Amino acid sequence: MTDVLSRLIEAEKARLSVEPESLSDVIYRWNLMDFLEYANRPCNGSVCIGVSELIYCSNKYYMRRRYPELVLAENLYASWAVYGRLIHRGLESLLREYGFDTEVEVSRCFSIEDLRVTVKGRLDALGVWDGTRTVVEIKSSRSDNELPRQQHVLQLRIYMNLVNAGKGILIYITPDRVTEYTVTAPISTPELKILIQETINNTKHPRYPWECSYCSFNHLCPYKQTNNSYSKRR
């Protein structure tokens, strides 16, 4: 973490010691605490990779570490990030009433090319549904086009592998509909190791043709691809 970023985070945390200025500030403070708690999780491996980093462009893994201030800005100040966290909070509360555990921390170590790699993540909900151990992932979006999305299915399949679940459910909350998709095939461990290897070796950039249009690092990335058929949508 850079000195500049550390000072910025400390300044933001100092705001928590005084009374909120507005209801919007209450929401912002919650978003800040949630982000910092997640970002500061310890990692016992020599190399740490988040599940969300395995499902996107491999160069993003390196750019996030080179420019962490952009990660902070994207997660704290973007309205879509707050919107998504609020939706998660509401639906997770409902799922707890049906016996699900929520905000479940998961991790597993792998040996990749003589490296000890820890894959870690935080799945939205884990429980038993229709008699089967089930992972639930909650997604919010401005658009309901092209659902379910490839990266979300991949993320769910990784979580299913990490917690040995027989079923996964993707729930999408959009302005047009609330819908869910069931996944019954977790990613295999050999497939997961390939994703880890691609990320470590930085060989998948981008992973999807639309990805550069959405990336916070595209103005800095040497691998940026321009595809005018894709416009930003959240």
59-83: pLDDT as tens digits: 999 998 888 778 777 766 677 777 8
Task: Please provide the average confidence, as pLDDT, over all residues in the chain.
Answer: 87
Q: Which pLDDT belongs to residue 39?
A: 60
Q: What pLDDT sits at residue 20?
A: 81
Say which amino acid occupies 79.
S
Q: Two tokens at 103?
A: 């905000």
Which structure tokens are listed for 33? 């605490």
Low-confidence ranges of the chain (pLDDT < 50): 1, 231-234
Question: Six-digit token pair at 207?
Answer: 């992973």
User: Considering only CA atoms, which of 189, 212, 192 is closest in space to residue 200?
Assistant: 192
Q: Residue 135: its pLDDT value, please?
A: 98
The pTM assigned to this predicted structure is 0.87
Residue 76: per-residue pLDDT:
67
Which of 3.90.320.10, 3.30.1330.10, 3.40.50.300, 3.40.980.10 is the CATH number of 49-65+79-213? Answer: 3.90.320.10
Parse the chain into domains and list their residue ranges. Answer: 49-65+79-213
Cβ proximity of 65 and 43 under 8 Å: no
Which amino acid does the sequence have at 118?
T
Q: Supply the pLDDT for residue 69.
A: 75
3-state secondary structure the chain: CCHHHHHHHHHHHHHHHCCCCCHHHHHHHHHHHHHHHHHCCCCCCCEEEEHHHHCCCHHHHHHHHHCHHHHHHHHHHCHHHHHHHHHHHHHHHHHHCCCCEEEEEEEEEEEECCEEEEEEEEEEEEEEECCEEEEEEEEECCCCCCCCCHHHHHHHHHHHHHHCCCEEEEEEECCCCEEEEEECCCCCHHHHHHHHHHHHHCCCCCCCCCHHHCCCCCCCCCCCCCCCCCCCCC
